[in-house]
């Protein structure tokens, strides 16, 4: 009979716990005895068998932390959604009340038409994709018995998991082709709403960059006006001169502060969200999700140790990956499904994956 280190550790640990419990059984009160029994059960579960590794121990120790984070994120989901709506609405109010009259009075008709058409198109794309990303179900595996292939069994749901399916602790269920749980959507990003999420990030970044670039001169003028007024007021207080400071009405000051607020907010969000959008674009080009990347990295390292090369089975090539992700089956779809609001479903059901979808072009193998 072969003894493993884990089994020996289990016998020693169990014997020590039994000895301590017998020695202190008559001394401990009942409520403390229950707590000690529960702690002993947790300790024994860490050396349950020889398959226990550092990941299992880490998950067991930090399970209360994970549960707390999931609970707080689940509760704050509506707060984040309201925050997105409030901040976006504040920028729209400033754009219509402050910027639009300035554009109509100073710009040429061609520039006025450009700003009005592009701004409203960008606004429609942002609102449409955010609503669809937040309200569309990410996709769930079936709960009833079926003959669909699966790769593992979820240890939380105790249900079969198809390929690329992962359990979300915040939603408390498995998600098809899960990328991550987005608190700003109060929803998981999965197979059915991944395109909506990426399109929202893309058009929101473009909108922020557009506001930041087009409002740069207005921001500099507003900042200079407020700075000159503050310097003038400080100079008058120090020198006791009776020359009045530059006269700005309450409306002028509010306009200047609104322009500064809009430029700072859009520039900050544009940089942060733009970096996130670029990162997701790189993952889409590789045919991966955020979770796939970590799994493929470990698999690549594991096979490299054996002298083998890992190949992602869901990578069809950069252009084909984008076609599959965006649902582009013909040339006109680049306009009707990408540049215009479209609610078309993604390719496939998220339970099984084609080696190559039927409409994408695959380069023929090179003959030796």
Residues 6+ apart with CB under 8 A from 51: none
φ/ψ of residue 338, rounded to 5? -115, -50
**Residue 343 corresponds to which tokens in the numbers above?**
């609610």
> Sign (positive/negative) of CA torsion 114, 115, 120, 126?
positive
Collect contacts of 217-221 with beta carbons under 8 A, ≥24 apart.
218/99, 218/102, 218/259, 218/263, 219/259, 219/260, 219/263
Contact criterion met (CB below 8 Å) for 173 and 133: no
φ/ψ of residue 167, rounded to 5? -90, 135
Residue 182 annotated in active site: yes
| Catalytic residue (one of 182, 188, 201, 211) | 182
The residues annotated with a catalytic role in the active site are 182
């Amino acid at each position: 009979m072969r003894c493993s280190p884990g089994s020996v550790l289990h016998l020693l640990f169990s014997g020590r716990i039994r000895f301590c419990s017998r020695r202190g059984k008559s001394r401990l009160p009942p409520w403390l005895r229950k707590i000690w029994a529960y702690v002993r059960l947790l300790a024994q579960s860490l050396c349950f068998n020889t398959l226990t590794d550092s990941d299992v121990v880490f998950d067991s120790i930090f399970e209360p932390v994970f549960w707390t984070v999931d609970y707080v994120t689940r509760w704050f989901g509506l707060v984040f959604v309201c925050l997105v709506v409030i901040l976006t609405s504040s920028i729209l109010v400033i754009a219509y009340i402050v910027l639009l009259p300035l554009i109509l009075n100073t710009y040429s008709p061609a520039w006025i038409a450009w700003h009005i058409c592009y701004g409203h198109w960008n606004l429609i794309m942002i609102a449409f994709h955010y609503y669809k990303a937040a309200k569309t179900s990410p996709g769930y595996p079936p709960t009833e018995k079926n003959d669909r292939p699966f790769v593992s069994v979820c240890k939380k749901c105790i249900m079969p998991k198809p390929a690329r399916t992962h359990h979300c602790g915040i939603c408390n269920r498995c998600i098809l082709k899960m990328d991550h749980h987005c608190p700003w959507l109060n929803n998981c990003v999965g197979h059915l709403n991944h395109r909506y999420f990426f399109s929202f990030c893309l058009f929101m970044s473009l909108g922020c960059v557009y506001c930041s670039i087009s409002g740069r001169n207005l921001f500099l003028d507003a900042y200079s006006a407020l700075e000159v007024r503050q310097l003038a007021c400080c100079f008058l207080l120090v020198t006791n001169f009776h020359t009045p400071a530059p006269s700005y009405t309450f409306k002028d000051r509010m306009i200047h502060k609104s322009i500064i607020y809009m430029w700072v907010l859009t520039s900050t969000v544009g940089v942060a969200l733009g970096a996130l959008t670029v990162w997701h674009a790189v993952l889409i080009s590789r045919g991966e999700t955020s979770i796939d990347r970590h799994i493929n990295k470990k698999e690549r390292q594991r096979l490299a140790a054996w002298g083998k090369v890992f190949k992602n089975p869901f990578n069809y090539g950069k252009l084909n990956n984008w076609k599959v992700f965006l649902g582009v089956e013909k040339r006109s779809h680049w306009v009707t499904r990408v540049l215009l609001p479209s609610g078309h479903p993604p390719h496939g059901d998220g339970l099984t994956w084609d080696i190559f979808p039927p409409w994408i072009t695959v380069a023929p193998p090179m003959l030796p």
